[in-house]
Chains A and B, each alone.
Chain A
Amino acid sequence: MNNSPLLKIEELRTYFYSRTKQAFIRSVDGVDLEVNKGDTLGIVGESGSGKSVSMLSIMGLIAARPGIITGQVWYQQEQARINLLAGLQDHVQVSKNDGRIMSVEKTDLAWQRRLEKNMLGIRGKEIAMIFQNPKSAMNPFFTIGHQIVENITRHTQYKSRKEAKERALYWLERVKIDSPQLRFYNYPYGLSGGMCQRAMIATALSSEAKLLIADEPTTGLDATIQARIADLLEELRAQTGVTIVLISHDMGVIGRLSNKIAVMYGGRVMESGPAQAVIDHADGKSHPYTEALLKSIPREDNMSSQGHLNSIDGEVLDTINVPRGCRFASRCQRINKSIEKMCLNEEPPLATVSDGHKIRCWHFAGV
Chain B
Amino acid sequence: MMVSRSAKPVVLYLTRELYVTFFLLIGVSLVVFAVLYSAPGDPLAAVFGGQVLSDAQREEMMRNLGISNTWYGQYWSWLVKLFNGDFGTSLRSGQPVLGEVTKLAKNTFYLTFGAMFFSLMIALPIAIYLAKRGTDRLGWVLMMFAYTTSAVPLFWSAYIVIYIYTRFFNTLPIGLATGESMNFTQMMLPVFMLGLGSGIISETVRFLRDEISRVFSEDYVRTARAKGVSVWKHALTEALIIPVSEMIASKIPFVIGGAIIVEQIFNWPGIGRMAWQAAQDRDYPVIMCITLVTALIVRLTSLLQKTLYVIVNPRASQETKTS
Please give the residue numbers on chain A whose beta carbons come within 8 Å of chain B beta carbons, in ascending order. 59, 61, 63, 65, 107, 109, 119-125, 128-129, 131, 133, 136-143, 145-146, 150-151, 154-155, 185, 187, 189, 200, 203-204, 207
Output the least CB separation between A13 and chain B (Å). Answer: 21
Instruction: With both chains docked as a complex, state the minimum distance between the C-beta of A116 and any C-beta of chain B, in angstroms.
Output: 9
A138 to B226, CA, bound (A): 12
Contact A154–B222 (Cβ < 8 Å): no
Residues of A within 8 A of B225 (CB): 59, 61, 123
> Is B136 among interface residues, defined by CB-CB distance under 8 A?
yes
Task: Mark B212-254 against chain A: 1 for CB-CB distance below 8 A, else 0.
Answer: 0000111110111111110000100110000000000000000
Question: Which of A63, A151, A187 is within 8 Å of B229, CB to CB?
Answer: A151
Q: Are B314 and A187 in contact (CB under 8 A)?
A: yes
Say which residue of A120, A136, A145, A151 sits within 8 Å of B218 (CB atoms).
A136
B185 on interface, CB distance cutoff 8 Å: no
B4 at the interface (CB under 8 A from A): yes
Contact A151 B237 (CB under 8 A): no
Q: Does B1 contact A (CB under 8 A)?
A: yes
B32 CB–A CB distance under 8 Å: no
Count the A-B residue pairs with Cβ separation under 8 angstroms: how many? Answer: 84
Q: Given A133-B219, A136-B219, A136-B220, 14 more contacts at CB 8 Å? A: A119-B228, A124-B227, A131-B222, A137-B222, A137-B223, A139-B220, A140-B220, A140-B313, A140-B315, A141-B238, A141-B312, A143-B1, A151-B227, A204-B227
B133, CB-defined interface residue at 8 Å: yes
Do A140 and B314 have beta carbons less than 8 Å apart? yes
The answer to whether A128 and B217 touch (CB under 8 A), given A185-B3, A185-B4, is no
Contacts of A59 in B (CB 8 A): 225-226
Q: How far is the CA of A143 from the CA of B313 in the complex (A)?
A: 11
Q: Within 8 Å of chain A (Cβ to Cβ): is B318? A: yes
Structural contact, A123 and B136, CB atoms closer than 8 A:
no
Q: Is the CB of A128 within 8 A of B219?
A: no
**How distant is the Cα of A138 from the Cα of B220 in the complex, in angstroms?**
5
What are 22 A-to-B residue pairs whose CB atoms are below 8 Å?
Answer: A59-B226, A61-B222, A61-B226, A63-B222, A65-B134, A121-B228, A124-B228, A125-B228, A128-B226, A136-B220, A137-B219, A139-B224, A141-B234, A141-B312, A141-B313, A143-B1, A150-B229, A187-B5, A189-B315, A189-B318, A200-B223, A203-B227
Q: Tell me the residues in window 104-139 of chain B with beta carbons closer than 8 Å to chain A beta carbons.
A: 133-134, 136
A145: B residues at CB distance < 8 A: 3
**Most chain A CB inside 10 Å of its own CB: which residue of B216, B220, B234:** B220
Contact of B237 among A125, A141, A200 (CB under 8 A): A141
**Once bound together, how far apart are the Cα atoms of A185 and B2, in whole Å?**
9
With most chain A CB atoms within 10 A of its CB, the pick from B133, B227, B313 is B227
Q: Which of B134, B228, B313 contacts A122 (CB 8 A)?
A: B228
Residue of A nearest to B315 (CB): A189
- The CA of A189 and the CA of B225, in the complex, are separated in Å by 21
When A and B form their complex, which 8 residue pairs have the shortest distance between CB atoms, in order from nearest? A124-B228, A123-B228, A129-B226, A124-B227, A136-B219, A139-B220, A137-B219, A141-B237
- Report B-chain residues with C-beta under 8 Å of the C-beta of A150: 227, 229
Q: Given contacts A61-B226, A140-B220, are A109 and B3 in contact (CB under 8 A)?
A: no
Min distance, Cβ A300 to any Cβ of chain B, angstroms: 36
Q: In the complex, which residues of chain A have a beta carbon less than 8 angstroms from the beta carbon of B238?
A: 141
| Set of chain A residues within 8 Å of B313, measured between Cβ atoms | 140-141
Quick check: A143 and B219 within 8 Å, CB to CB? no
Chain A contacts for B234, CB-based, 8 A: 139, 141-142
Contacts of B3 in A (CB 8 A): 143, 145-146, 185
Most buried by B among A59, A107, A122, A137: A137
Measured CB to CB, the nearest residue on chain A to B318 is: A189
The complex places the Cα of A133 from the Cα of B219 at a distance, in Å, of 9
CA A120 to CA B217, docked complex, whole Å: 20
Q: Please, how many angstroms separate the alpha-carbon atoms of A44 and B259 in the complex?
A: 62
Assess whether B315 is in contact with A139, with CB atoms less than 8 Å apart. Answer: no
- Provide the bound-state CA to CA distance between A255 and B124, in Å: 50
Interface digits, B254-280 against A, CB 8 Å rule (1 contact, 0 not)? 000000000000000000000000000
Chain A residues, CB < 8 A from B220: 136-140
- List B196-224 residues whose CB lies under 8 Å from chain A: 216-220, 222-224
- The answer to whether B312 and A128 touch across the interface, beta carbons within 8 angstroms, is no
Contacts of A139 in B (CB 8 A): 220, 223-224, 234
Q: With contacts A139-B223, A185-B3 known, is A155 near B315, CB below 8 A? A: no
